[in-house]
Structure 1
């Protein structure tokens, strides 16, 4: 099934919310707030990269990247997520393509690195690894991974944008 990866457009916003809600409704570890998080990040101007996957012009997936801080400082690092694909299209590589395209775009923007809170069996395929120097409080360390995009090292306690508190 051919799909296109592109930047989100204003007319995609409503369907991004629907796709995100549907995708996380079947997710094992979901807060149920993922669509609200994307809305809050967008409203705050904190969606540094927001890509959609479209099949025949219809949005079927979305990925967001937003700034994070390490020990309160902006070091040019970003957080991946939420990433969502319509449930009937899971397992077809759409999410992976969104993540790869987003990481490439982050690199082109000069980002230093990216973190993700997610499945330790899934994210290493993109180069993410658990790094004891980069921490996120309150989760088992194997679920929090980092990827240097420029080869540099970072350290500290990660804080996501306040949009992640959306409900």
Structure 2
């Protein structure tokens, strides 16, 4: 497996993988692929990585886009969505994509990263739930942050408008 930046010609494969990965997820809005497309169209995919198999086929994708925390200055990003083809899940591909994306955020001098997901899945990357950081004005144990530099933020996180696509 190799990890690389997404290319223009990868958009259709990323959409298929994302749609399939979230098709049966109980927490899915069914809009994950459209969110990635809208972020791409808006130029808001700060980091968009694909994992390819030995034959060059795209088998995974992860996106990182800017978030705003109560309109305060800072360089914070949201992780997601992350998708892996069904036949390649549970082989470490999603984890490798996330680790590479976080390393690239650190290289960009980012303050940190937030996500909405199961704490059991993201604890291994250093993410923690923090009731001082909310999404939609409400704390949630599923809303997590990873501080890359400075202090943990406090406030409500706003994602890019692409996350509101229907």
TM > 0.5 fold call: yes
Please name the residue that 2:22 is paired with: 24
Please name the residue that 1:76 is paired with: 75
Please name the residue that 2:92 is paired with: 93
The yes-or-no answer on 1:116 pairing with 2:115 is yes
Where does the alignment leave 5 or more consecutive residues of structure 1 unmatched?
A: none
Deviation at 1:139, TM superposition (A): 6.2
Scaled by the length of structure 2, the TM-score of the pair is 0.95
Q: Does the 8 A contact of 1:26 with 1:87 survive in 2? A: no
Distance (whole Å) between structure 2 residues aligned to residue 22 and residue 38 of structure 1 = 14
Please name the residue that 1:9 is paired with: 7
- May I ask how many residue pairs the two structures share in their alignment? 165
Secondary structure at the counterpart of residue 20 of structure 2: helix
Deviation at 1:121, TM superposition (A): 1.1
Distance (whole Å) between structure 2 residues aligned to residue 74 and residue 64 of structure 1 = 22
Please name the residue that 2:141 is paired with: 142
Distance (whole Å) between structure 1 residues aligned to residue 25 and residue 74 of structure 2 = 31
Structure 2 CA distance for partners of 1:110 and 1:153, relative to 1, 3 Å: same
Where does the alignment leave 5 or more consecutive residues of structure 2 unmatched?
A: none
Q: CA RMSD in A?
A: 1.3
Structure 2 CA distance for partners of 1:96 and 1:161, relative to 1, 3 Å: same
